[in-house]
């Protein structure tokens, strides 16, 4: 289960399709060196993205994958 404290790199490894979600929010996480150390929450804060909205969208990706 993803939480705001999940590292972005873990999200991208588990759910490669999350890259498109991050890009829609202006987060170029796939090519950013920070993705290896930043959490979802920190990344959202740095890009002025509502964490609740982002987590809901990531939860939907998890559900699509049966988790």
25 is a domain residue: yes
43 is a domain residue: yes
What is the tally of structural domains in the chain?
1
**Residue 35 structural domain:** 8-64
55 is a domain residue: yes
3 is a domain residue: no
What was the pLDDT predicted at 28?
A: 78
What was the pLDDT predicted at 40?
A: 95
What was the pLDDT predicted at 19?
A: 93
Low-confidence ranges of the chain (pLDDT < 50): none
> Using CA atoms, how far apart are residues 33 and 47, in angstroms rounded to an integer?
15
53 is a domain residue: yes
> Using CA atoms, how far apart are residues 5 and 7, in angstroms rounded to an integer?
6
- Of the candidates 45, 46, 34, the one whose C-alpha atom is nearest the C-alpha of residue 7 is 34
> Coil, strand or helix: which one is 39?
strand
pTM of the model: 0.87
42 is a domain residue: yes
What was the pLDDT predicted at 66?
A: 76
């Amino acid at each position: 289960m993803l939480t705001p404290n999940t590292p972005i790199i873990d999200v991208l490894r588990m759910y490669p399709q999350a890259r498109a979600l991050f890009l829609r929010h202006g987060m170029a996480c796939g090519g950013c060196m920070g993705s290896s150390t930043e959490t979802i929450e920190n990344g959202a804060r740095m890009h002025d993205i509502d964490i609740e909205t982002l987590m809901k969208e990531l939860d939907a990706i998890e559900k699509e994958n049966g988790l």
